Amino acid sequence: MRVIELKASVSEENDRTADEVRRKMKEQGTLLVNLMSSPGSGKTTLLGRIIDDIGKKVRIGVVEADIDAKVDAERIVGHGARSIQVHTDGMCHMDAGMTKRSLDEMGCEGLDLAFLENVGNLICPAEFDTGAGLDVMILSVPEGDDKPLKYPLMFMKSHALVITKTDTLPVFDFNMDECIARARKLNPDIQVFPVSAKTGEGMEALENWLIGRMDDWKNSIDATSVGNGCC
């Protein structure tokens, strides 16, 4: 019986396309941020707050990826940012090819930051390089502090963890210190930002970090950063 291993070839093709995306984003001076989380964690609300806070000095675009509907892209446009809605036709993640086509359709010329709001899922999005310069994951307080134990790859591959809905901490049994410790056990270098997009708590620190990484991306001439996704 013949056995054909497909995973390696599929992964290699995706990685080549991801490198192409990074090179193009580098040439344009646009930092692509891959935003990952489970459904309902507050990705779109967080992006809306970021656009409201820094959108006048940082040019932002957002690729909204969902199985169906267009409500998220409409919300982003309502905040005054460029946006495009992508329907993945049942796919539980965005890969590099899908990301490349989406960015081409939206147009990144003149943008400082481009966000890819990946499909809501804590598993598949972490397995595919999209070509982003930054991988950022969101964990909301209502989801619980045990998620680093259950979905380790997402935490291992992310440059930053944004813990959202901190205004609900009095309501939910969520141990912030334990959650952060679990995340950093998996990824000692992960940046952690507890925030509330509703109240604005913690948003300035996150936004300043994003602006800093954006400036680093534009100023960097280290060719290796294009190949490995590190900024």
Of the candidates 49, 47, 78, 50, the one whose C-alpha atom is nearest the C-alpha of residue 63 is: 47
Query: If you search the block for the tokens 């941020």, which residue do you land on?
Result: 33
Asked if residue 85 has pLDDT above 50, the reply is yes
* SS3 assignment, position 45: helix
**Based on the number of CB atoms within 10 Å of its own CB, is 116 exposed (0-12), middle (13-18) or buried (19 or more)?**
buried
Asked if residue 210 has pLDDT above 70, the reply is yes
Of the candidates 133, 150, 115, the one whose C-alpha atom is nearest the C-alpha of residue 224 is: 133
Between CA 130 and CA 38 the distance in angstroms is: 17
Between CA 112 and CA 32 the distance in angstroms is: 9
Q: What pLDDT band is residue 70 in, cutting at 50, 70 and 90?
A: confident
The predicted-structure confidence for 157-167, as pLDDT tens digits, reads as follows: 999 999 999 99
Tokens representing 213?
Answer: 């990484």
Asked if residue 204 has pLDDT above 90, the reply is yes
Rounded mean pLDDT of the chain? 90
Between CA 60 and CA 172 the distance in angstroms is: 33
Of the candidates 146, 153, 125, the one whose C-alpha atom is nearest the C-alpha of residue 43 is: 125
Amino acid making up residue 145? D
Which pTM was predicted? 0.89
Mean pLDDT of 57-79: 91
Supply the pLDDT for residue 90. Answer: 67
Quickly count: other Cβ atoms within 10 Å of residue 183's Cβ. Answer: 24
Instruction: Decide if 61 contacts 82 (C-beta within 8 A).
Output: yes
The predicted-structure confidence for 96-153, as pLDDT tens digits, reads as follows: 999 999 999 999 999 999 999 999 899 989 999 999 999 999 999 999 999 999 999 9
How far CA 110 is from CA of 47, 48, 98, 123, 212, in Å, comes to 19, 20, 21, 32, 18
In the chain, pLDDT over 90 holds for what percent of residues? 80
Supply the pLDDT for residue 66. Answer: 82
Between CA 134 and CA 32 the distance in angstroms is: 7
Tokens representing 45?
Answer: 């609300």
CB-side neighbour CA atoms (13 Å) of 182: 19
Of the candidates 56, 28, 60, 201, the one whose C-alpha atom is nearest the C-alpha of residue 131 is: 28
Tokens representing 132?
Answer: 């982003």
